[in-house]
Structure 1
């Protein structure tokens, strides 16, 4: 998970929808509020425009797991950090179209699963719809003020560590952070076996790069700075939080050794 810095003001497409929809609803009911909104009433083109804004804001990676997502692949959705359910208690339904509560999540399957699925379709093979097993699809209506690690927390990346086998673990910083990280991992399915498999490959590629290149601390610092920002297409490297975790560990070792 990496920090997502929201814009200072909500996107124009969201403002336009809210103004026009509210005006229409209040002609029928002067007391109508967005807590009553049926999410399916938020339609294109504004909905698609908002998802595009969120994807750009996140460097085209999932707000939770960090896998690659895009508009063209249709492998993402607008995610409510605090759930939009009207029946949930406590209810956050009043935040249903609040920009600061809206993120872009993957649909709970990996790029590798997508490619396999598309290949089967090309071959006219009967294949079931991809299962949505992690991130926003897994999370559902879960949210806890005390134990949800949000990508809107500036140091959220520090709540987690990664094993070379691709697993994500709570950081051993203090008991409260550890509990929050562990609960978030479980509720979002971040150690789903398919997710672990693709994360492991990215981590192993990083470790191989470190071992092969024998970077100095200065070189590692530049590499970290590069991975910590979007490329010329506006994209972060997929699973960049895991990549940065290992680069920073190596940098710390080299720095202490004076290399």
Structure 2
């Protein structure tokens, strides 16, 4: 999970709606549902711009997979209705609403903002938020495609990491498969560059530097994979 640094505001209409925040979960749901689609498009464009088009939780490039994004309330509307229109509480998460029926029909389990655990009540003390500046240090990635708590964490932090992984279903079959494929691609490129004596730092930079304000899929996994070579690339925060 890559930390998101907020620098937008979501546009005029979101700011206007936030001047009188909802006070109850019912008001939050009703008002968000009535927030016009064209206003939501403004918001999600701003969110994707500051997230380099990565899903806020999984770091999937949903657009490259033929999937969409939805506006995610990091603190659920039902739990904190007053933050429904607060830009600092919003993020762009895969999947888009039109994807849900097809995704379910394929038998895959939902992940990210649509995961059943996230849809229910979330413990804000245990949950590692994508808006938390050091969220990346809680997670590690392994070659079989899973995300796990980072080894260097203290027990309480490991519990928080595992709680977040489970809540967001970050080891859904779909995500595990996609991460494993990406790891294998990186591994093949690594072997080729070692054999041919090519620069690993230059290769790492290909997937760690934004192009047209877009990062490659699974940025944190990629940065971990390249290790010391990644430190020689011109990385972003």
TM range (shorter): 0.7 to 0.9
Q: Secondary structure at 1:97's aligned position in 2?
A: coil
1:70-149 alignment runs, 5 A limit: 70=63, 75-85=68-78, 91-107=79-95, 128=105, 133-138=110-115, 139-149=118-128
> Which of residues 246, 250, 256 is equivalent to 2:225?
246
> Which of residues 142, 146, 149 is equivalent to 1:163?
142
> Which of residues 179, 185, 194 is equivalent to 1:205?
185
* Partner in structure 2 of residue 5 of structure 1: 5
> Which of residues 25, 38, 42 is equivalent to 1:45?
38
The CA distance in 2 between the partners of 1:177 and 1:42, in whole Å, is: 37
What are the superposed Cα offsets for residues 54-102 of structure 1, whole Å, 9 maximum, x if unpaired? 112211121111111349x5621110101001xxxxx311111111100
> What TM-score do you get using the length of structure 2 for normalisation?
0.80
The CA distance in 2 between the partners of 1:97 and 1:68, in whole Å, is: 25
* Partner in structure 1 of residue 235 of structure 2: none
> What TM-score do you get using the length of structure 1 for normalisation?
0.73
Q: Between 91-100 and 128-137, report the one with greater CA deviation.
A: 128-137
1:9-28 alignment runs, 5 A limit: 9-18=9-18, 22=20
Instruction: Report the alpha carbon displacement of residue 145 of structure 1 after superposing the two structures with TM.
Output: 2.4
The CA distance in 1 between the partners of 2:11 and 2:204, in whole Å, is: 30
* Partner in structure 1 of residue 52 of structure 2: 59
Tell me if structure 2 keeps the 8 A contact 1:108–1:134: no
Q: Secondary structure at 2:189's aligned position in 1?
A: helix
Q: Secondary structure at 1:45's aligned position in 2?
A: helix
The CA distance in 1 between the partners of 2:222 and 2:194, in whole Å, is: 16
Instruction: Report the alpha carbon displacement of residue 223 of structure 1 after superposing the two structures with TM.
Output: 4.7
Q: Which has the larger radius of gyration?
A: 1
What are the superposed Cα offsets for residues 121-180 of structure 1, whole Å, 9 maximum, x if unpaired? xxxxxx948866111100213422221111112222221111111111100221122111
Q: 1:81 to 1:242 in 2, by over 3 A?
A: same
